[in-house]
Amino acid sequence: MAAEVSGPEVGGEGQEPLLSAGEAAAAEEEEEEESRNRDVVETQEHYKSRWRSIWIMYLTMFLSSVGFSIVIMSVWPYLQKIDPTADASFLGWIIASYSIGQMVASPLFGLWSNYRPRREPLVISTAISVAANCLYAYVHVPHSHNKYYMLTARALVGFGAGNVAVVRSYIAGATSLTERTSAMANTSACQAVGFILGPVFQTCFTLIGEEGITWKLIRLQLNMYTAPVLFGALLGVINIILIFAILREHRVDDLGRQCNSINSEGEESGVLDQDAEGNVDHVAVVAINFLFFVILFVFAVFETTGERAILHGGLLIVLVGFFILLPWGKKLPNIQWQEIKNNSIPRTTFTEMLMPFWSLQAMQLPSNHTVEPVGCPVTQSWCLNTPMIYLAQYISSDILIGLGYPVCNVMSYTLYSKILGPKPQGVYMGWLTASGSGARILGPVFVSQIYTHLGPRWAFSLICGVVVVSLLLLEIVYKRLIAFSVRYGRMQEESC
């Protein structure tokens, strides 16, 4: 018979029954087992399932970028073919419609993903993109207003691309702090590869030709303009199948321990996430939104140390890049005289007298030679007093901005996700994506207006000023740009 634990008589009045030595040992062993379970990060099976799901998110990001770039080179000739009434200004609206659609959809899909399984907004958004690509393939069918159908199709493709907010919020919730920087970098890399390979795919489809093949039964023309979007639709269908087959809801805390997810359709095993207690630092959130807007704005104009320091360094590199791009020399550019044709030189004016001798000599063309006017347009008055930008300047600037932009992009998303911590990130990621889309809309408008009317000196100086303001803002909020767990003392900052 098991020995009784020494103490007052068992069952006495007002006394709790004492445990036997065996029961006490079993209780102690159970408590130790629970403690060990809390310390275990995750099982191997959970780890593999989690990263399979993250790879599906990488694929979704890649296909979203392909959907934007796969037709970008052929939009203008196709638009002219289906609707001769369309002009260059309408083309600008078609290009911008993608970003407008994404800006509107990102917060909506992000909000959806906060309360429902992420599979739902991902499948619906991808299905919208598939339908929009099919619509693009049929914009030649209507007898009028074809350009508006193309505008609608591209806007819907952008609307479907609003799922990038869901992708980033999923990755933020499914990675630990130590995994998140590389995961966000991989996400941005997949996005960049999609932008690059889209035109490559389109180039391959040019082999089909402008006429291609027509299926009269379904009124489908398969040619160099429609084949790329139909290929994009096929990739979207494959993506939907993989989302259903592989994607699972996973959430881990900052240490990598499995947590219950509010997005799960059923009960999940895992520890209860106590780290969600606390408020998000909204000053830091707004600051990152502004910085991200500036980064995308600057890049749109131009078509492990801690993350804060890397973001700081990236912005400095971008600043140096645009500073180099400013007109620094004394040599004026060639002037584009539209009257040059068959050696006809316009009568001498005061502005011609300001031109150096080499520019006048360059105008002396053979009598039988006709060329397109080249150089700085004479209609832009700044051409007469703004020094030219040398090729070496442009190349150096291109390299620096090309290095600084991806660094800033990745660090913005990484810091943002760490600042938000265990809170649902769908809406926040939606706003961040929307700010980037807004920058891609305003950037080209900015450069077209400022550059055309005031020239590169003003345009690039203003951009340098915006970057300087961003650096000052970064200095002001620098100490606040820390991970949620670090802010509440649950982790040391070195762990970030």
Which residues does 347 contact at the CB level (< 8 Å), separation at least 6? Answer: none
Give pLDDT, residue 8. 44
- Per-residue pLDDT of 148-207, as tens digits, reads 999 999 999 999 998 988 998 899 888 888 888 888 888 888 888 888 888 888 888 888
**Quick count: other Cβ atoms within 10 Å of Cβ 68?**
22
**Quick count: other Cβ atoms within 10 Å of Cβ 320?**
17
Low pLDDT (below 70) residues in the chain: 1-41, 260-278, 295-296, 298-306, 336-374, 423, 489-496
Q: What is the pTM of this model?
A: 0.65
Both structure tokens of 142: 């209507």
Cα Rg of the chain (Å, integer)? 30
Give pLDDT, residue 139. 93
Give CA–CA dist 187/163, Å, rounded. Answer: 13
Question: Hunting for tokens 């004026």 — which residue is that?
Answer: 332
Both structure tokens of 433: 């994506």
Which run of H or of E encompasses 43?
A: none
Give CA–CA dist 21/34, Å, rounded. Answer: 20
Strands 335-336, 213-215: pairing is unpaired
Give pLDDT, residue 28. 66
Both structure tokens of 36: 């060990």
Question: Hunting for tokens 């991989």 — which residue is that?
Answer: 186
Among 471, 475, 301, smallest CA distance to 401 is for 301
Residues recorded for the chain: 496
**Quick count: other Cβ atoms within 10 Å of Cβ 353?**
8
Give pLDDT, residue 303. 45
Question: Hunting for tokens 């691309």 — which residue is that?
Answer: 161
DSSP state of 155: H
Give CA–CA dist 256/253, Å, rounded. Answer: 5
Which residues does 420 contact at the CB level (< 8 Å), separation at least 6? Answer: 172, 280, 285, 428, 484
